[in-house]
Structures are given as C-alpha cells and as structure tokens.
Structure 1
Amino acid sequence: MKEEVRIAIFGLSLNVLENMKQKVHLMYDDMVHIHWANIADPKLDILLVNDMFFASPTIQNLVGTQKIPYLRLINSNDKSGQINGDKLFLPFIASDEIRKWFKDRYLQVPVSSKVERVIAYRAKSLDIHKVVQEFLNERNGNLQIFDSYGNMGLMNTRTEQVWMETGKNIQSTDATLNYTYATMQMAQSVSDIQGLDLRYWLWNTLWKSESVIKDTSSKVFYKLQYWPQPSTAKDRQDIFKIAACFERGASMVQIEKKLSISMPIIQKFVSAALFANVLKEIDESEAQLIIEEKPSENVLRGFFGKLRLKLRL
C-alpha cells in the first residue's frame, strides 16, 4: 500500500497551479501517493501559499497555531528554484534544495529553528459582514477574492464587476471569505472582458452559502433597497414574493403570516440580504405592509349577537 502525503497549494492561477503540481509529483517516488488537498483539510501535511495571502487569518491559523509546514511562494526569475527561510521562489524548479525540503517534510523532519517564521498576526474569527462591506466600497478598486478552497476571482468595486477564476464553477462560499488587493497585472488581465454584476454575484453566492447565514430578530422591520436577481428558477418565486413584501416595509413575522412561507426561508433571505445591502432596517412606523386578519369565530358570534339585538330578532 502506498504511503500518502497531503499537500495544499493556495493562491495561484490555474495554469501555474497545474504546472507546479506536475513538477512536485515528479519529485516523489512511486511508493508515495500525493493527495492534493484544500487548506481546510484537517490532515494537511504541507502548505504552499502565494505570499500575497500569507497574512490572512485562515493561513495564519494553519502556520501559526496548527504549525503546518509551509512555504511562501514568491515570483523571482533570478532566484527560481531556491528556498530562503520560509520562501520558495517561482517559477518552480525541482532543484536539489527543493527536493530535500519536500523529502524532509514527508519524513517529518522538523523545520530548522533558523527558519524565520513571519507571523503577521494570530488567527481570529473573520467578520464576514465587514468583508462583504469592503466589496461594496468603491474606493477599494481591484480586489482578489478567495476563501478556504482557493482563489475565487477578481473584483472591481468601482465598476461593480466580478470575474470568476477560469475553469472553476463557484456556487457558494464560507466564513473564510476574504480579499487582498489585486496587482495591476491581474487587473489588466480582465480589462477587456465583461464581468458579472457584483451585486448579482454577491446575492446569489450568499444565498447558496448556508454556513454564513445568521439568525436575526423576526420582529425587526426592514425595507427593500434593490431587487435581488436569483440565478435559479426553483428559488425565484419565494424570493420575489418575500422581496415584494419588504418593498413596502415589513417584519419577518408579518411576511410569514401573509405568505405562509416558512420562517427559515424568510430568515435566510434576510441574512443574505443584510450582507449584500439588499435590505435596510426601518422603524415600525415606516412599514406599510398590510396583513388582513381573519375575524375569529368569537368575534363573529359577538358581531351577529349585537346585530340581532339591534334588529330585535
């Protein structure tokens, strides 16, 4: 039975990633099975990460708290194939130095104490709401967005466009959603391509991301700021019905009574909508949704009783 080493490569373009995988694979003999993992893998053996993403809380948790052996990937043609401390210089060349590093990690040789481990800050829980608000801040310009599964794509907050990573069919995300500022070269690579509408993409990604949904008070009143555009037909009817109620100003309790749609669905709408600035909180006095209350049986009896007395029936 082959022995296994689990390696995650994070933050590289698809072409560079595949090229690097092939070269890393050739460094190991046939008795070792390489399992290409993502950074959420609890049994990760080696992490190779684009230096631009090194300071993100998710990466810091892996290298600082979990002590996963890692190398920071930095482009430098002059130093290609070299390792300096915790830095591996690209383009990737399988030099003797690199082969030794990977072999030592496979044999679980501890990292030399002379290696400088640059820990920018310890991991902390990301406030995904704050991250999403930065996506809606036009001053940020070009951003590269990613989560624990790798690069998601590029975003321009001024033109409100998103370009998904080529070859990936990304439908959802998780609480590790984050960003870094994109380089000029990255921005130029999509300058002639029409991107997705940022708000359209944001709504649909959050709607499908169950892990980021948060409970909110069902008695708070909200008003619709703009209409979401659901990408799947199966959700469209409920989403548009809920949105129509919030357009007049309403609470979740009112909408549940009016539409007979389950509270979890309404809660999911509100959570995604608050993240994406689809809703804003309002005072109860501003709400205009009218709920027609059906008269109770006792009220009807009382009404007809008074009517009989008045008519002396």
Structure 2
Amino acid sequence: MPDNLIIHWKQASDLHLDCLFIHETFFNTDGMQKLLNRTSFPWLKISKDAQLCGTVQNNTLYFPLLNAKELYRWLEQHIMQNLPASQSAPSAPMPPEAAESQIAPKHSNPFNERFFRQMLTDATPSKLHLYDDHGSIAVIDVAQNSVWPSPHRLHPMTDLSFKYDLASTTDLAKADRKESAILQDWLWNLFWNSPDFYQIAPEDGHYRIHFWPKPADKAQHKRIFQLSACFIQGAKLSKISEQHDIPIRTIQQFIAANIAVNNISKINLWDAHYNPPEQAESNADKGLIQNFIGKLRKKFGF
C-alpha cells in the first residue's frame, strides 16, 4: 500500500471497515455469513493451495503468497480506486515481482470443470465481475441468466488471464445495464472466441454435451453445428477428427467452450455414441442380411 496511507487493523465487527480478510476456518460460520450479508465493503477469503498460490479467484486469496501481483491488482481495484481523493496516492509503486511479471507474463492454468462449476453454480447468489489482464469483460447475474458486457470490449474474447470476482459498486456502475444478453449463450461464445482455452480440453476422450450451443460466429456456423450434432449423441474427439477431417485443436476449442458453461459430461466407452451415416447404413445392411440368413436356417432346419 502507498506510504501515505495509515493501516489500522480492526475487529471484523467494526462498522467502519474498508475491507475484510477472513481465514477459511471461520468463513462458513453463522456469524461471518450474517456479517457478509449485511455489509458492502470488499472482502477476501484466505485459503491454502500450493497449486493456486498467489492467485485471487472467486474472492479467495491462496497462500503461500510467493507473488503479490494478483493481490496488488485486487487492492488497486477494490480499495485504492474507491478511496477519497485526499487519501489516494498519485501512483502507487508496483512491487518488483509484479513489474517482472508485466515484462514476461506467465499465467498458471487453473481452468477446469470445477473452476467453471464454482463460478456458475457454487458462487454466492450475487453478481460477478469477469475480467482479465486487459480490463473488464462483463458483469453477470447467474441467478437471472443475464450478462451486461463491458461497452469497451466490442468483440468479447479473453485469454488465460481470465478471472472473476464479486461485482463491486464500481463494477456495476461501469457496466451498461441497458444492454443485456442471455448469459449461457454469451459465455459459450466468449470462450469459443478465445482460442487459448483449447488447452483446457483433453487431447482425446469420450464426451457428450447437454444442449446445442447458439454460435454467433457466422463463419463457423456449419462447423459448430456439425460438432454439436456429433457430441449431442456422445462422441470421441479423435474419432470425430478422423471421420470429418477436423483439426483436433478445433475440436478441443469446441469442448473447452462447453466446459466453460457446464455443458459437458465425460461418458464411458460403452455408452451410446455418434456413428457416421455410412457406418449406420452398413450396420443396417448387416442386420438385414443376418435376419435373412436366420430365416433360411429356420426354414430349412440348418
């Protein structure tokens, strides 16, 4: 924090807090949940995770804190920008490790089905702010299945610096609340338009999607519907790539977009799968022949 700010540590019950840090041990207690429900100041849950160390996700700061870049960004966004002009510093110095990260950014990859399930189903019933290293992306309301895209992002896309947090009053004020979209459809297109996310999809495996996506990418309409027709029945990535001559990376991009909206399930090898038309016809012809031979055997007593 800037040197001209004096930090006072207070009890959680103090009525004049600027922010609150909560150890995970106490987060789910009745008293803490009641406090969070009746307050509006920003807060961070403190947790331990060796793989996520130093990151801020879903309003949780993960220790050990080996790199303060994300904590610094959180403080800047939720604390520094909301301070009265007389208290705010002209420009707060960036920590050395954060400056190095600006020069050569390296992003860990926490994205998987659990990450997006937490974002869309496990988060508290309030509005979330989606953002990345390039700025605000949108404010979403999961309960209402609505999204208010940032007016400054004309072409919704992101990269592996994507994050989300509880939306602050500032985030809500910046969002264009007049222009809303259906969250499920918008989110699918956001990640389809973000090719870096192909990396979160497996290189192969058997999967089934639950509903048909609604692509906004007109140039890829046919390809997306083709993949949807296959995976709505259940399909294996490598088989679809081979049968339809589609690059495996494109299929991974499709799978990743469905992971991001919780629209996919892993299935077993013996579950029902998509069969190409020629294979289905071949199986039908084979069945007719076997039926004909069976009748001959019965008639002649073979």
TM-score (norm 1): 0.55
Aligned counterpart for 1:132 among listed residues 116, 129, 135: 116
1:155 aligned residue: 140
Query: 1:280 & 1:182 partners in 2: Cα distance?
Result: 29
Tell me by how many angstroms 1:264 deviates. Answer: 2.2
Tell me by how many angstroms 1:166 deviates. Answer: 2.4
Change (3 A) 1:195 1:274: same
Which stretch shifts more, 178-187 or 51-60? 51-60
2:82 aligned residue: 75
1:256 aligned residue: 241
Change (3 A) 1:191 1:131: same
Paired letter, 2:202: T
Tell me by how many angstroms 1:132 deviates. Answer: 2.6
Change (3 A) 1:185 1:268: closer
Change (3 A) 1:133 1:283: same
TM-score (norm 2): 0.57
Paired letter, 1:73: M
Preserved contact between residue 134 and residue 140 of structure 1 (Cα < 8 Å): no
Aligned counterpart for 2:218 among listed residues 199, 216, 233: 233
TM alignment of 1:146-295, pairs within 5 A: 146-183=131-168, 193=178, 195-214=180-199, 215-218=201-204, 220-291=205-276, 292=278
Measured against aligned partners, the alpha-carbon deviations of 1:216-242 in whole angstroms (never above 9, x if no partner) come to 142x21112011111111111011001
Paired letter, 2:118: E
Query: 1:231 & 1:155 partners in 2: Cα distance?
Result: 19
Measured against aligned partners, the alpha-carbon deviations of 1:42-66 in whole angstroms (never above 9, x if no partner) come to xxxxxxxxx969998379887559x
Paired letter, 1:127: P
Change (3 A) 1:141 1:172: same
Q: Which has the larger radius of gyration?
A: 1
Corresponding residue SS for 2:232: helix
Preserved contact between residue 150 and residue 176 of structure 2 (Cα < 8 Å): no
Structure 1 outlier segments of 4+, above 3 Å: 51-56, 58-65, 123-126, 183-194, 291-295
Query: 2:82 & 2:165 partners in 1: Cα distance?
Result: 17
Same amino acid, percent of matched pairs: 20
Change (3 A) 1:272 1:186: closer
Preserved contact between residue 208 and residue 267 of structure 2 (Cα < 8 Å): yes
Aligned counterpart for 1:57 among listed residues 55, 58, 61: 55
Unaligned 5+ runs, structure 1: 1-50, 83-87, 89-97, 111-122, 296-313
Unaligned 5+ runs, structure 2: 1-40, 46-53, 97-105, 283-302
Measured against aligned partners, the alpha-carbon deviations of 1:9-60 in whole angstroms (never above 9, x if no partner) come to xxxxxxxxxxxxxxxxxxxxxxxxxxxxxxxxxxxxxxxxxx9699983798
Number of positions where the alignment pairs a residue of Structure 1 with one of Structure 2: 210
Tell me by how many angstroms 1:209 deviates. Answer: 1.2
Query: 2:109 & 2:252 partners in 1: Cα distance?
Result: 22
Report the aligned-residue RMSD: 4.0
